[in-house]
Amino acid sequence: MTDLPEAPEDAIAAPAPDPVAEFQAALAQTIRAPLVTYGLIAVNVLIFGLMIASGVGFMEPSATDILAWGGSFAPRTAAGEWWRLLSSNYVHIGAFHLLMNLAVLFDIGPFMERSLGHVGFLALYTASGIAGSVLSLWVHSNIVCAGASGAIFGLYGGLAGLLLRNPTVIPAALLKRLGKGAAVFVGFNLLNSFLPNVDMAGHVGGLLGGFAIARWLDLELTGDRARVTRRTLILSGGVVGIVFGAATLVKPGVDFDKEIATFTAIENKALARFQALVEGVKGGTITDAQAAQALAAEILPPWRSERARLGELNLSPGKQRVAMDTLLVYIDAREAHWTALEELLRTQDKSLLEGMAGRVKAVEAALEKVKQLAK
């Protein structure tokens, strides 16, 4: 009987297989570099850089700036500017908002892109972002919404969908790591949900959109690439079609800033004409009767028409309603002054002078309240 030689004491045992490394290596064979993820990050950084270069605030851009760069706002978007449903996903409200979103995209993006392929990943990301924008459109009528959060929530919704479809494929250790990133991202957004003007509806819409798409997909690791890409495009197109159909049912609502701008233009024109009449009467270039006729024909009709239009606006209770009511008081006071002045100039009834000073004071007091609200 021959004895077998003993193994050397310093012999190194073969390392146990690492399921995470094996899984990631298999995914890397399908797509070596997540180019779409890197491209999305680059586009978002580029757009933010252009915003800053144009003078937009680095940390806290104004709602006006965000809207100008493509943010979604129900009175504009639902009135026909549907491109905002997509463009708003690439505009960010400050540097911290951008960095948080891109850090999470860098974490989850490569995995989802390698799982679904370049085209499938971009389709899911885009459809989720649009789904988030549409739900935001339904929920928020007076908030300018922007950011990639909805699309990124869609990636996590997509991950949940993939897990239901492929429950045993993704290693537990990898899921744990991805789960930590998800917890940080979701936790950050939940904390922010207590702040004013935070769009949680967009996050939920993106999450649901991503889940609805990926629930019916196979991982690239186990499925046929062409079939998965084709199915992703079909499902993404279906989601976009459904949510866009829902978006067309949204009533545009009131674009408060636009309404105020319209009134301001009418006010400036009326005040300029009134000042010209005052100077004309004082300088003797026009008669009292001519000034009265100009007030009655040129100033009061558009002023009253604008007052009627603003009074019919359907504003929800809140700051805008209060601001509009304050503005209407000013408009009424100005109309009362001009109406009395027109009668005085036309009839030369000196008794009307008694109430004129009080009407002027009423205009000044109402205007002061408008200015205080505008600060």
**Distance (Å) of CA 44 to CA 66, 68, 106, 148, 181:** 14, 16, 12, 9, 20
Query: What positions carry a catalytic annotation?
Result: 149, 203
The 3-state DSSP class for residue 72 equals strand
Which residues lie closer than 8 Å to 326 by C-beta, 6 or more apart? 366, 369, 370, 373
**Distance (Å) of CA 251 to CA 79, 88, 136:** 8, 19, 13
Geometric angle at alpha carbon 298, from 295 and 300, rounded to 5°: 60
CB 125 within 8 A of CB 91: no
Query: What gap in Å lies between CA 230 and CA 136, rounded to an integer?
Result: 28
Query: What gap in Å lies between CA 83 and CA 352, rounded to an integer?
Result: 56
Query: What gap in Å lies between CA 148 and CA 102, rounded to an integer?
Result: 8
Buried b (16+ CB within 10 A) or exposed e, 275-284: eebeeebeee
**Distance (Å) of CA 167 to CA 80, 215, 220:** 42, 11, 14
Phi-psi region of 198 (alpha: psi -120 to 50; beta: other; left: phi over 0): beta
Phi-psi region of 293 (alpha: psi -120 to 50; beta: other; left: phi over 0): alpha
Geometric angle at alpha carbon 174, from 171 and 177, rounded to 5°: 155
Query: What gap in Å lies between CA 171 and CA 221, rounded to an integer?
Result: 13
Query: What gap in Å lies between CA 133 and CA 143, rounded to an integer?
Result: 12
